[in-house]
Amino acid sequence: MPGAPLTEAERARAFALPKKPAVIERQRLAVRYHVEDFDVRDRPRRFLEAFAAILKHTNYRVALDHYARISTKCARCAVKCQIHEATGDDRDIPCWRSELLLAVYRRHFTISGILRGRILGDPGLTDETVAEMADTFYDCTACRRCHFECPMGVDHGLVTHLGRYVLSEIGIVPRALAVSTREQLLGASGNTSAIPVPALLDSLEFLSEEMQDEKHIAIPFPVDQEGAEYLFLPAVSDFIMEADSLMGIAAVFRATGDSWTIGTGYFDGINYGLFYSDQVLEHVLRKVRAEAERLKVKKILIGECGHASRSAKHFYPMFCGGAEALPVLNIMEYTHRAWREGRLRLNPDVVTERVTYHDPCNVARPGWIVEQPRELLKAFCRNYVEMTPNRRDNICCGGGGGTVSIDEIRPYRTAIGGRVKADQIRTTGAEYCVAPCANCKKQLRELMEDQGMDCKIVGLHDLIYKALVLD
Amino acid sequence: MEAWIVFARGPLFRLCFSIMVLGLARVLWLTGIGIIEAYGRSDDRALAYREIFRQTLGWALPVGRAGRARPLYSLTSVLFHLGLLLVPLLLQAHVRLWQSVIGIAWPVLPAAAADGLTLLMLVTAVGLFAGRLADRRSRAISRLQDYVWPLLLAVPFVSGFACANLTLAPLTYQAGMLLHLLSADAVMFLLPFTKITHCVLQPLSQLVTAVAWKFVPEAGDRVAATLGFADRPSWAERSRLGGPHS
């Protein structure tokens, strides 16, 4: 599977800093992503204060304590990391990256570290290390594939998440994520793509008309239906970018007849908190809860999006009522169940091209959604092929962990992050690659473009829309 | 020399053994408390017990999964652990020693099997050291203790094997036995302060990770308040998400 080594030209392109030297000088932060200006004074001290506050109020300490004690540095994670495979750079070894934060923890938050620091005169965290963390924690796609190969059970994805969280509390966070979050939580539109409600309604009306033309049947997008079974939350960008996925989902509901609704009070499944801040994660989920309560729905249904699904499925019960919280499910689960119950008819003669399936990390890695989309695809795609490796051991698209939203690092994502993925897709010879995740779709389309490949990247419901027989 | 041997297998052994047991009990206790506290702070009590158990057992007996990454190194490690664990616990002479300390005896390994496992451990210890040294990725992340441990662990095995199997002059035998005892004592003494705590902590890793992903309600707000942002959420503050600093 490994491709050719990275050429000098590719490396130069992928790692070129798109920021102006003057900005780097002012922010003292030579990272590839853009950040807005922030307070650069006394950065190590402020990093430690933020770290201390986070350790005090959260559950990370037990993991850091454990990982700091038992990590055996066996380098098995390096073998499994697609970033390291692409660059061959020691700094891309997951264990190397995690050690940056673990070393700070040991030195400043354990008795032996503090004593050793005093005795040996170790000054502790430096500005250079903060800058190094700022850079390297956003080189990782947080795909957590390495976690499955660590005999000691170290979860480098958790450490990356925490490292980014601490950095964000001192102002170091990719501007793309910060601006979207601010719009979602404080802006007038209340969503990450800044789509106003009238534009949403226009878009839904247009899609309904499209379906009327194509399928000759009325397929509605219910809006603000109080008491509906499902509150539907896709990645909000789908309303602009993924018309076919949305039409497929609406068509599935037309076929099953179940009640669902899109809420105009809140209609964004995206949750960048998963990538850099627990506070953002919780505040976004509170908006979901408020909308679910307003519309008195029974379940929360997330669209084709890996991180949106995981952040709701895994964290909604934690922040919104524990055992009493509304159930969360992904649209693929819903469609799969409807198909198993015989409520969907899929025509096997429509999609004749070779089709492969890309597992989004956030839904496949926990083993949550692995077989459901495969069973659906095999039911109507005659020429279905698997990528290798696949399922829980899948290769990340290369834009995970929020990096896909950072446009200025596209060369890095397509030359480094997605390099192994491109080889994997190329090997299948597929014409369609089904990637049921908004992040993966964007990344893989850019990857195909930059790598000169012509495989079409689609959602699961794009193909279902083609094959679904509606009466 | 004789007096040193008596000291090394008597008071010093008891001291080092106690430090090992207490040290391991301490880290086990701290981790256990950490898990309970973390779990208690979360509102979501659901844990994927089956998955946690499956992964824990899978790594405790990594027969199927060891070869998935760095297969030669990983297989060497598995064999190394086999000798490392079985010989100290099941060698006849050791069981007698354990019996004299804690008063309990258990079945022993046949001498030939013990010798075979000892040789296996020694070969694989050198293999682990060489494997770490030879691999660039390993070298990039290794600390001093990562190189020292396989060699340090080999010392009591080499000296013990020599004393048990070779015809040695009395003085050489005594020197070998002293080395055997002192190195074993050193291993026990150092063990709880190093990565070797994984001998008791590793089975808790999956559970630790699972509870660490259990986030605490309103923790993010409390973090912001602690940092002086009580009146507004931290993501609202442009100087913290970016923006001109005040």
The predicted-structure confidence for A198-218, as pLDDT tens digits, reads as follows: 999 999 999 999 999 999 999
Tell me the torsion sign for CA atoms A405, A406, A412, A416: negative
* Beta-strand pair A384-385/A432-434: unpaired
**A162, burial (CB in 10 Å: exposed 0-12, middle 13-18, buried 19+):** buried
Higher per-residue pLDDT: A12 or A96: A96
Confidence of residue A38 (pLDDT cuts 50, 70, 90): confident
Name the residue facing B211 among A54, A62, A80 (closest C-beta).
Answer: A62
Tokens of A52: 């201390």
> Residue A372: CA atoms inside 13 Å, Cβ hemisphere, count?
20
pLDDT at res. B245 = 36
Span B7-60, pLDDT tens digits = 998 899 999 999 999 999 999 999 999 999 999 999 888 899 999 999 999 998
Omega before A389 cis (within 30°)?
Answer: yes
Mean pLDDT of chain A: 94
Span B81-114, pLDDT tens digits = 999 999 988 998 888 887 877 788 888 999 899 9
pLDDT score of A23 more than 60: yes
Q: Would the pTM of this model clear 0.90, i.e. be above it?
A: yes
How far does B20 lie from chain A, in Å, by closest CA? Answer: 15
Give contacts of A 429-458 with B, CB under 8 A. none
pLDDT at res. B238 = 54
Summarize chain B as % helix, strand, coil (round to 5).
80, 0, 20
Confidence of residue B235 (pLDDT cuts 50, 70, 90): low
Give contacts of B 166-225 with A, CB under 8 A. 193, 195, 197-198, 201-202, 204-206, 208-209, 211-224
Confidence of residue B242 (pLDDT cuts 50, 70, 90): very low
3-class DSSP state of A430: coil
Cα separations in angstroms, A447 against A241, A396, A413, A420: 17, 12, 8, 11
C-alpha R_g of chain B:
24
Name the residue facing B201 among A37, A70, A169 (closest C-beta).
Answer: A70
Q: What is the mean pLDDT of residues A223-246?
A: 96
How far does A456 lie from chain B, in Å, by closest CA? Answer: 32
pLDDT score of B236 more than 90: no
Give contacts of B 111-150 with A, CB under 8 A. 135-138, 140-143, 146
Span A399-417, pLDDT tens digits = 999 999 999 999 999 999 9
Name the residue facing B140 among A74, A96, A178 (closest C-beta).
Answer: A96
Span A237-254, pLDDT tens digits = 999 999 999 999 999 999
